């Protein structure tokens, strides 16, 4: 039975030379010259094995330096690899260079394209420039295996992830015994994979989520820009509105409708990845501002009671909070004069008679939100609320 192998890595790390060393012939040209498209497939017998080797060319993480049509990349890969199951995924790294941001992004791109567990379950790491390793280690006589286990940081994490299925390749050597030894060590590592997991396939449904996530991440700058434009437009429109205008409420409802249309668009673009969570949170703040103004115009907001909503179990105005701060909505708690704040995991009710300062602070915050000028407060407010909660415990 033929062994299907997939080989990936940054351009310049030696994918073509490694592929040629594996197959024992010079099938692939460096830097993808002479090849067409993203995927290149060659077949050759290797030590009584029939090997079909698929090389992915130019798989780069999208950036300003490498603008990529990521959706077309995924489409081309799926079209080429749709019916193939791979015994292993070979990740080519270069010995003797730092594990730079570009290398880290390349690993992220591999995982985003083929699944976040692809290296853990199916990966074999090949380090090229084995001749340089030999020269570096002549004095201390360190083996490649010991060197791998002696690494630290993200390189160590990557080696741990693949279970130290690491092989050193010297792609410059003409020594047949060295080439054969490299091949056998690689197939030995592949055999370990075959005894634990099924062959890898791009048809795995888990891949869809990881790909959707990177697709949305690529669109993020553009979506953030569009969202800024919408929020700024709404803010400018609100600054020109007056409660005495005859069409005041209709204008607010029109702005809310425009907001809701863009929010629905963002939710669709997010594809349940939560990449756009912070962008959607900003939209939610604008939505609440508009709804408060409409409720104020309809006189449905009462000063007596306020509910502060936050998507964290932290105090909503905690200056260290990393979540978006939602503005206040108001409800009438049967005119009992209680201030209530709500989080995902905590519900506290505080008598206003004990919290005149907090109550006045909240009233002022509601007014500022309606005007679009509210900001997170200082630790003094945090200390004030903590003290109030301690006092309130006596009444619960």
Whether residue 35 has pLDDT greater than 60: no
3 state DSSP class of 275: coil
Distance of alpha carbon 283 from alpha carbon 272, whole angstroms:
17
Distance of alpha carbon 364 from alpha carbon 367, whole angstroms:
5
DSSP secondary structure letter of residue 395? G
Domain residue spans in the chain? 3-204, 205-298, 301-396
Whether residue 119 has pLDDT greater than 80: yes
3 state DSSP class of 342: strand
Predicted local distance difference test score (pLDDT) of residue 300: 55
- Give the orientation angle of helix 277-298 with respect to helix 356-371, to 10 degrees: 100
Greatest mean pLDDT among 228-232, 342-346, 359-363 lies in: 228-232
At 396, is the pLDDT very low, low, confident or very high (cuts 50, 70, 90)? very low
- Give the orientation angle of helix 248-270 with respect to helix 206-240, to 10 degrees: 160
Helix (H) or strand (E) holding 247, with range, is: none
pLDDT digits (tens, 9 = 90+) for 45-87: 998 899 999 999 877 766 645 556 888 888 888 888 988 899 9
CATH of domain 3-204: 3.40.50.300
pLDDT digits (tens, 9 = 90+) for 76-107: 888 889 888 999 999 999 999 999 888 998 89
- Give the orientation angle of helix 356-371 with respect to helix 379-392, to 10 degrees: 130
Greatest mean pLDDT among 23-32, 90-99, 131-140 lies in: 90-99
The encoded tokens of residue 163 equal 């279970």
pLDDT digits (tens, 9 = 90+) for 304-315: 434 433 333 333
Whether residue 331 has pLDDT greater than 60: no
Q: How many helices (H) and strands (E) does the chain have?
A: 13, 10
Alpha helices in the chain (DSSP H): 15-23, 70-81, 101-114, 118-122, 130-136, 144-149, 153-161, 176-194, 206-240, 248-270, 277-298, 356-371, 379-392
101: exposed, middle or buried (Cβ count in 10 Å: 0-12, 13-18, 19+): exposed
Distance of alpha carbon 306 from alpha carbon 328, whole angstroms:
7
Sign of CA dihedral 57, 61, 64, 65: negative
Return mean pLDDT, the chain.
77
Whether residue 348 has pLDDT greater than 70: no
- What pTM value is reported for the model? 0.66
């Amino acid at each position: 039975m033929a062994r299907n192998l997939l080989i990936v890595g940054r351009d310049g790390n030696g994918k073509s030379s490694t592929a040629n060393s594996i197959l024992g012939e010079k099938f692939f040209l460096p830097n993808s010259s002479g090849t067409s498209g993203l995927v290149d497939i060659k077949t050759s017998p290797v030590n009584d094995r029939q090997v079909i080797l698929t090389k992915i060319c130019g798989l780069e993480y999208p950036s300003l330096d490498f603008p990529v049509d990521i959706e077309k990349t995924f489409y081309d890969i799926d079209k080429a690899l749709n019916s193939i199951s791979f015994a292993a995924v070979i990740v080519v790294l270069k010995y003797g260079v730092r594990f730079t941001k570009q290398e880290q992004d390349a690993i992220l791109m591999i995982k985003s394209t083929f699944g976040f567990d692809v290296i853990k379950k199916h990966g074999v790491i090949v380090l090229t420039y084995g001749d340089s390793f030999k020269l570096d280690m002549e004095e201390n006589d360190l083996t490649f295996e010991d060197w791998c286990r002696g690494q630290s940081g993200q390189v160590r994490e990557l080696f741990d992830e693949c279970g130290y299925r690491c092989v050193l390749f010297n792609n410059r050597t003409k020594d047949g015994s060295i080439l054969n030894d490299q091949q056998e060590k690689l197939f030995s590592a592949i055999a370990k994979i075959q005894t634990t997991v099924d062959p890898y396939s791009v048809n795995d449904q888990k891949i869809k989520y990881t790909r959707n996530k990177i697709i949305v991440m690529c669109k993020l700058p553009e979506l953030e820009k569009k969202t800024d434009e919408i929020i700024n437009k709404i803010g400018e429109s609100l600054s020109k509105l007056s409660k005495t205008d005859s069409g005041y409420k209709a204008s607010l409802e029109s702005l809310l409708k425009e907001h809701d249309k863009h929010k629905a668009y963002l939710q669709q673009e997010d594809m349940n990845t939560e990449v756009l969570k912070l962008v959607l949170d900003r939209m939610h703040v604008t939505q609440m501002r508009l709804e408060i103004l409409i409720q104020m115009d309809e006189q449905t907001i009462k000063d007596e009671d306020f509910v502060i909503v936050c998507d964290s179990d932290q105090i909503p105005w905690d200056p260290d909070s990393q979540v978006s701060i939602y503005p206040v909505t108001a409800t009438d708690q049967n005119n009992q004069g209680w201030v209530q704040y709500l989080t995902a995991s905590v519900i506290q009710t505080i008598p206003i008679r004990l919290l005149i300062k907090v109550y006045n602070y909240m009233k002022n915050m509601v007014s500022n939100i309606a005007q679009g000028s509210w900001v997170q407060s200082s630790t003094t407010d945090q200390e004030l609320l903590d003290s109030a909660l301690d006092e309130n415990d006596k009444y619960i």
